[in-house]
Structure 1
């Protein structure tokens, strides 16, 4: 996989902004019934899925981003931080709350999948979106796998191994999960061997230094009359 780099595209920045509190999002969503907003977000997600299947990654990212913007205006966690600004919206029913959260989870999961398809992968974003999924759905195998891959590419093999090990427990026959888990273990082993070699060199240098001091002391003792 390619290393992260390059300028972040507008649609990816928009997806990140969808997770931040916004007064305008609350006002815009409150102008229409809750179910209408939820249906709009679900439709955006469905269109995003269609674009993803067609390998139109840019358009897919745009649809998931728009879905998250709509849902932001209904999210109780977001609205709690901006309470008192803009009109209030009715509390969501249990069914509405479940649909909102499931749609958010799907969009973040799919955004992470989209980013992994780009020529220049922003692994930090992949990890961020995957961790958002795991916050709401801790055992999600796809999010665990993508968080593991992204974390490994970002250089943290130990944490990556934890994500990938959990994903492997859930799907032991998944070849991709096993492959990246093996990569994490091999990287950890290389780091361990490198650390051992460094300590051996330090120990060897210390012995040579001590030996040299002993010889000098012996020579000085033989110089006496």
Structure 2
């Protein structure tokens, strides 16, 4: 009997180990962050993931808010250093980690998941301004990094630039990058709108003027194609009508 109980205990132990291994594998393979950006976040992403899943902890308050803000600014500064050194991979990682630190302070983020996590603290006007400025800088710099990669993810560039424009509508860099991304994604009309606004702030910038000209040229080409298409459709319809009337006359 004792032998049987020992075997049962061993079986239960093996089952526990198997479940633990499966949990570990599924957690490591979770596609929370696409591509190499998941690798870049490293330990920072793991910490943020744990904090996001803890719904019983209250949001940061008092001195912790200032501490979070300073941590985010420090990470952003490290990202700027890597960017100047042309180490885009590390720069992208620091900017993402900075944004992750700021998530717990952003009322826009916590309001979307209200009831499932800690509430955002009430920030002072100065803290709110520092939060938004840091977010704007990180998203702007992320877009700049992505544009310098060999294979540019224009969808992500557009997304980051539009986030900047949500908080800072007249940001010239974000307008320019949103225009470039929209042009590459085939939306010449939106590209022209963004680049026209950017050119008002930087009328002598050759890059802005060059991409604006490209957007206008593409719109002109598209217009000529549509014009030719409608002309062809009208001519075909007219010939069909003449043929039908001619057939009636023969009767």
**2:60 pairs with 23, 30, 33, which one?**
30
Deviations 1:130-189 (A, max 9, x none): 000000000000000001111111111111111110111111111111111111100100
Find runs of 4+ consecutive structure 1 residues off by over 6 angstroms. 12-15
Q: Which of 62-71 and 45-54 deviates more?
A: 45-54
Aligned to 1:76: 107
SS at match of 2:176: helix
Does residue 212 of the first structure (1) align with residue 232 of the second (2)?
A: no
Q: State the shift of 1:10 in Å.
A: 3.4
After superposition, the CA RMSD in angstroms is: 2.7
Hey, what's the Cα distance between the residues in 2 that align with 1:185 and 1:218?
A: 50
Report the CA distance shift for 1:185/1:75 in structure 2 as closer, same or farther (over 3 A).
Answer: same
Corresponding position of 1:99? 130
Larger Rg: 2
- TM-score where L is the length of structure 2: 0.76
Gap regions ≥5 residues in structure 1: 1-7, 221-225
Q: What corresponds to 1:5 in structure 2?
A: none
1:196 to 2:227 alignment: yes
Q: Give me the whole-angstrom Cα distance separating, in 1, the residues matched to 2:218 and 2:185.
A: 12
* Cα deviation code 1:38-84 (max 9, x no counterpart): 11110111111111111111111000000000011111222233445
1:29 shift after superposition: 7.3
- 1:33 positional shift: 1.4
How far apart, CA to CA, are the structure 2 residues paired with 1:186 and 1:49? 36
Moved more, 27-36 or 156-165: 27-36
Q: Corresponding residue for 2:35?
A: 9
The match for 1:58 among 70, 77, 89 is 89
Taking structure 1 as reference, are residues 200 and 83 closer, same or farther at Cα in structure 2, changes over 3 Å only? closer
SS of alignment partner, residue 162 of structure 2: helix
Q: Highest relative contact order (Cα 8 Å, sep 6+), 1 or 2?
A: 1
Q: Could you tell me which residue of structure 2 aligns to residue 3 of structure 1?
A: none
The residue matched to 1:92 in structure 2 has which SS? coil
Structure 2 spans left out of the alignment, 5+ residues: 1-33
| C-alpha deviation, 1:91, in angstroms | 2.0
| Contact 1:61–1:114 (Cα < 8 Å) also in 2 | yes
Q: Distance in 2 between matches of 1:114 and 1:84?
A: 35
